[in-house]
Chain A
Amino acid sequence: MNFWAVSTEIFILVIMTVALAVDLVLPKKETRRGIGYLVISGLLAALVYTFGLYHTGPSMTFFDGLFLEDNYALFFKQLFILGMLFSVLFSLDYVEKNIKSPGEFYTLLMAALLGMCVMASANDLLTMFVGLELMTVSFYVLVGQRMDVPDSGEASVKYLVVGAGSTAVMLYGISLVYGATGSLDFAVICRSIQMVFSIGLAGIVLVMIGFFFKLSVIPFHMWAPDVYQGAPTPVTALLAMGSKAAGIAVFMRALYAAFPLLGGYWIPLLAVFAAICMVGGNIMAIRQTDVKRMLAYSSIAQAGYMMCGIASADAAGMKAVLFYAMLYVFANVGAFAVLTCVEVYRGGTTHTHLTGLAQSAPLLAAVMTVSLLSMAGIPPTAGFSGKMYIFTAAVERGYLWLAFIGFLMSMISVYYYLLVAKAMYRDLTPEEETANTAFRIPFGVRATVLLSVIATVGTGIYPELLAMLTNLASQTFMR
């Protein structure tokens, strides 16, 4: 048993336990802001620590190969930790104001992070299932944390019902795969010839449907907009970047490591679903006025772009997906930090609440615009390089039509992203002018938005640094 392989998880578990203990020890009336700082510093240390685990030699395993700590997993763990770090940082004020029990909130956030990290390292259907459930069950509770807003409870119930159903479908699929191959290990499933029989194919289809629910791919997306809208804003941010990236990570690992021989079946399927996602997500986002709901549909479209990369099923496609997932985190952090700040001061996230932001908080308006443009893929930002990598990989694989649809839909997406910019930058009527008071931007939000905008523009101008990291990440996977 090599405990160094699970050291990142142990680290996060310790942060979680300490946060819970501090919450219990602190007197009831005391503010819980300190726990937030504690979590932030712990995550920062974990982030630095994970850089030391990158390797070129053989990867560490734990529990007889159930758990694999390769560079691919490390890359995704850093992505989750980064997303979580920034989410906690920009939501300090939000949590203090709107969440009834912040100590439990931070503990649950760490539990969700732990689940994501386990998913990224899963090398066996059992580990995958446990990690997925740890993350999802934590999110059911996190979504319902706004005790003062009925929408939050409604979103939580919808998420639970759909999530539990999809879990059951996935577990049934896992049982059929187990029946066909006699093992839950990805490596054994990969070598097993029985997967081509109908029972194995039924299994892989059910497992993929389960993943499609978790990734909110279009025919299985009904829960996403309601949950994104009703959840507390920092949790929405984590659903959009963390939960989705974790799903992508384990989905890609399962497809590439366990079912590569069935590529003839799942590659065209993924290509078609990617196209449906890109078209549907972008079209339905146009008529949304709540920015959180709009970002939910936009995240469906982003899942479509990432699935384009997965459908190319080679090292180039994988690198493109890793790159895209990371820069999507940068863009999301910026956008949701602004939304959280606006919600704290103005009580909502619709276009009306954002009106006049350019006059009252020019920094927030600028960062929001840059983040949204990055999601749309406009050149000086990172989104452009990410989309270029993904569509290049798809074209090289022969999916020209897919790249064409993606390109067209990216252009359509600019419209609804710029509607938000228009709401923030348009001229105000005299009444609005008087109502539009300037507000103080807290330090956490200021730091987050500046870092996210630097990362977004920096990666757009100089993508080599992140590209090098993705190369390193795919190196231990694709050999």
Chain B
Amino acid sequence: MIDIFSLSVMDIVNWSLHVGLAHFLLLAAVLFSIGLYGLLTKKGIISTLMCVELMLNAANINLVAFNHYRPFQDFSGQLMAIFSVAVAASEVAVGIALAFRIYREHGSIHVDELNNMKG
């Protein structure tokens, strides 16, 4: 384990300059967390979809980064990322169509105003 408190400034600079797998994973984790936070707090359906997109792309970064740092040649991670891009696109297409529909019916695209059904 690395003791965080004994790190010098130079250590941190070194770590930041030599980009490796950990950087990509950190980026992906941060993106995922931002997306999850937005998904839980945002009210409009468009911004909700954007947050889902962030989460999916975090996973894509993970897949591609893991794939790149594999010891042997193999493309399954990149393939998976391509498939997930396609899936995300189809999901967003349906989401936008639904946004149109509920705008026509309710006059707004706020998800929290949709509370007709309870129980």
Give me the interface of A with B, judged by CB distance under 8 Å: 125-126, 129-130, 133, 137, 140-141, 144, 150-151, 153-158, 160-161, 164-165, 167-169, 171-172, 174-176, 178-179, 182-185, 225-226, 229-230, 287-288, 290, 293
Contacts and interface: CB of A to CB of B under 8 A. Distances in A.
28 contacts: A140-B91, A140-B94, A140-B98, A150-B105, A151-B117, A153-B101, A154-B117, A156-B98, A157-B102, A161-B52, A161-B111, A164-B52, A165-B39, A165-B55, A168-B35, A168-B56, A171-B84, A174-B59, A175-B60, A175-B62, A175-B63, A175-B80, A178-B66, A178-B76, A178-B80, A225-B117, A230-B117, A293-B117
Given A160-B91, A165-B52, A176-B62, A225 B119 contact: yes
Contacts of A179: 25, 62, 66
Contacts of A140: 91, 94, 98
A137 B91 contact: yes
Interface in B73-119: 74, 76-77, 79-80, 83-84, 87, 90-91, 94-95, 98, 101-102, 105-106, 111, 114, 116-117, 119
Contacts of A182: 66, 70, 74
A289 to B, nearest CB: 8
B32 to A, nearest CB: 6
A171 B55 CA distance: 9
Given A126-B80, A171-B56, A182-B70, A157 B98 contact: yes
B111 A167 contact: no
Contacts of A172: 28, 32, 55, 58-59, 62
Contacts of B56: 167-168, 171
A153 B105 contact: yes
Contacts of B116: 150-151, 154
B37 to A, nearest CB: 12
B94 A125 contact: no
A133 B114 contact: no
Q: Which 4 A-B pairs have the closest CB atoms?
A: A168-B55, A175-B62, A179-B66, A171-B59
Q: In this complex, which of B48, B60, B76, B111 has the most chain A Cβ atoms within 10 angstroms of its Cβ?
A: B76
A125 B28 CA distance: 20
A169 B55 contact: yes
Contact of A130 (B87, B91, B98): B87
A153 B102 contact: yes
A156 B98 CA distance: 8
B45 A157 contact: yes
Nearest to B93: A137
A130 B86 CA distance: 10
Contact of A157 (B70, B91, B114): B114
B83 A126 contact: yes
Nearest to B48: A161
A226 B117 contact: yes
Contacts of A178: 62-63, 66-67, 76-77, 80
A369 to B, nearest CB: 23
A226 B114 CA distance: 11
Given A129-B83, A150-B116, A178-B67, 11 more contacts: A133-B87, A140-B98, A153-B105, A160-B95, A160-B98, A171-B59, A175-B77, A229-B117, A230-B117, A288-B119, A293-B119
Contacts of A226: 117
B31 to A, nearest CB: 10
Contacts of B84: 129, 171
B42 to A, nearest CB: 10
B90 to A, nearest CB: 5
Contacts of B67: 178
